[in-house]
Structure 1
Amino acid sequence: MNNKQISKEEKKLLNKVFWRSFLIYGSYNPMRASGIGFLYAIMPFINKYYIKEDERIKAMQRNAEYYNITSAISTFPMGIIASMEKENSATGKFDSYSINAIKASLMGPLSGIGDSFFWGTFRVIAAGIGIGLAEQGSILGPLLFLLLYNIPAIAARYYGTFLGYGLGEKYIKEAYEKGIISTLTKAAGILGITMVGAMIYTTIGLQTGLKFNLSGMEYNLQDILDQVLKGILPLSATMICFFFVRKKVSASKIMLGIIVVGAALSLIGLL
């Protein structure tokens, strides 16, 4: 769907989403990452299309869940989710679980592209040009760096909003008409869970340094655990935290518990 097929009212809402997206990391936290910022960005759509208060609350709770993605392309999923929320508000047959499933499945692949292009490549090139001029005493150095990086990043953010909305509205309707939305939701859920599992393994550096002797042989407990399942300790720690989250324990208490338990295990040599 191109911009001509989007109504003037929808364009106004999408422009609000675009401007609000600049504050996506204003409330970043370990539990939801930029989930609150995501919710704030698409609130114009939620307020517009959800008339009943209970439905609006459910939509807000749904969109405040964990969200972490390269900022320059963060608006593409916003556009898709905005179109899904609009569709959900219009029909009682919409599977609301698919909204979070789609969002979770997009974070990993899009972050890989966004981080590689904007952070790993484009920012480095822009910085190289800017530093070269700055070393010569030119004021153009920092100015060019900011312009060379931010112009394409902001353009991607702006057009990504409309592109995501257009694609979402077009293909979601087709998926429902053809009866494939359930398959799409299941596939997105599997991809999202896979992404979370990979994130746990790569970001939580939990290992044990415990060694013991048995029949004259020294064994490293971490090596044994790795043979059972790679990343079993990070996974176990995550599941324990998830258990307490389900029990409505506050994030601050969980983090305090992690600090206390981690310190205690380090003192006795288990970590």
Structure 2
Amino acid sequence: MKFTKNVSPDDRKMLNSIFWRSFTVFASRAGATKAHAPGFMYSILPAIDRYYKNDPKGQTEALERETTWYNITQNVGTFVMGLVASMEKKNSQDPDFDANSIVALKTSLMGPLSGIGDSIFWGVLRVIAAGIGISLASQGSVLGPILFLVIYNVPSILTRYYLTYIGFTLGDTFIEDMYESGSMKLLNKAASTLGLMMIGSMTATMVTFKSTLAIPIAGGKPIEIQTYLDQLWQGLVPLAVTLGCYWLLSKKVNVNWILLGVLALAIVLGLVGIV
């Protein structure tokens, strides 16, 4: 791609190092005031070491800048890493460059980029990968977990890699241009819509409920509850369970407790003969 071709061998080596280090960005957390700043500082260190090699004061100031709060969906966070590397390069070469703009721009991009990253990677790609993986795994195929990892991780890793270069080569005008053209708003809307469609499809096909409960009738066939549930609304119970889980998630209930609750409910309903 043109983003990687127009980079010098030394810059390529530096950006590759930033890319590989980016996988550890969420390995540390410095509290609510710094979040994942230590991981970001470690990731961007190759650029700081290179551009401030003979400037200890500039290196110290750069490291201090990278200790500010950082938290971006890391599938797209490497764009900011490449961008910061580019701006640190300018700062090391231009004495009139405003170093405060580095922190300001990094902070301003956290919301928009996380919105895109969450919508595409968590709301769409992960759902598609999980749907395919679960479908195959439920049939006893070992390809289930393998395809889940491949479908999610290959696009994620490629995005990380190329965004590192894009951030470095395009600079701070890229996101601004996307906002001015309306592309950012369109991308967010499309990703959100597709994510909702995938969740609805998975709910309809993978969340199942079939009651064995029946009311006996003297001299006639028992009344099967499931028949009336299907006549009332096909898939009513799975939909209700799914919406209930989403409601609990909106109330900040830990997802592990929700999973345990669903499991316990299934066991109880099975034991009393309802399902």
TM over 0.5: yes
Instruction: State the match for 1:2 in structure 2.
Output: 3
Within 2, Cα distance between the matches of 1:66 and 1:109? 16
Instruction: State the match for 1:82 in structure 2.
Output: 85
| 1:4 counterpart letter in structure 2 | K
Instruction: State the match for 2:130 in structure 1.
Output: 127
Within 1, Cα distance between the matches of 2:28 and 2:73? 15
Q: Give the CA deviation at 1:3.
A: 2.1
Contact persistence 1:36–1:65 (CA under 8 A): no
Within 1, Cα distance between the matches of 2:154 and 2:111? 24
| 1:33 counterpart letter in structure 2 | A
Q: Give the CA deviation at 1:53.
A: 1.1
Of the three residues 155, 158, 182, the one matched with 2:158 is 155
Deviates more, 1:25-34 or 1:106-115: 25-34
Instruction: State the match for 1:111 in structure 2.
Output: 114
Unaligned runs of 5+ in 1: 173-271
Instruction: State the match for 1:93 in structure 2.
Output: 96
1:21 is aligned to 2:22: yes
Instruction: State the match for 1:144 in structure 2.
Output: 147
Unaligned runs of 5+ in 2: 175-275
Within 2, Cα distance between the matches of 1:4 and 1:124? 34
How many residues in Structure 1 have an aligned counterpart in Structure 2? 171
Q: Give the CA deviation at 1:101.
A: 0.6
| 1:15 counterpart letter in structure 2 | N
Counting aligned pairs with the same residue, the percent is 52
Q: Give the CA deviation at 1:52.
A: 1.5
Instruction: State the match for 1:47 in structure 2.
Output: 49
1:206-246: CA deviation from partner (whole Å, max 9, x where unpaired): xxxxxxxxxxxxxxxxxxxxxxxxxxxxxxxxxxxxxxxxx
Within 1, Cα distance between the matches of 2:123 and 2:27? 23
1:28-72: CA deviation from partner (whole Å, max 9, x where unpaired): 232211111111111001001112111101100101210101111
Secondary structure of the corresponding residue to residue 9 of structure 1: helix
Within 1, Cα distance between the matches of 2:113 and 2:39? 18
CA RMSD, 1 decimal: 1.4
1:137-191: CA deviation from partner (whole Å, max 9, x where unpaired): 111000100000000000100000000000118x59xxxxxxxxxxxxxxxxxxx
Instruction: State the match for 2:237 in structure 1.
Output: none
Instruction: State the match for 2:13 in structure 1.
Output: 12
1:63-119: CA deviation from partner (whole Å, max 9, x where unpaired): 121010111111001001100001000111000010001101100001001001100
Within 1, Cα distance between the matches of 2:154 and 2:107? 28
Q: What's the TM-score, normalizing by structure 2?
A: 0.60
Q: What's the TM-score, normalizing by structure 1?
A: 0.61
Contact persistence 1:129–1:144 (CA under 8 A): yes
Secondary structure of the corresponding residue to residue 74 of structure 1: helix
Instruction: State the match for 2:252 in structure 1.
Output: none
Secondary structure of the corresponding residue to residue 34 of structure 2: coil
1:34 is aligned to 2:36: yes
| 2:12 counterpart letter in structure 1 | K
Contact persistence 1:75–1:160 (CA under 8 A): yes
Within 1, Cα distance between the matches of 2:6 and 2:152? 31
Larger Rg: 2
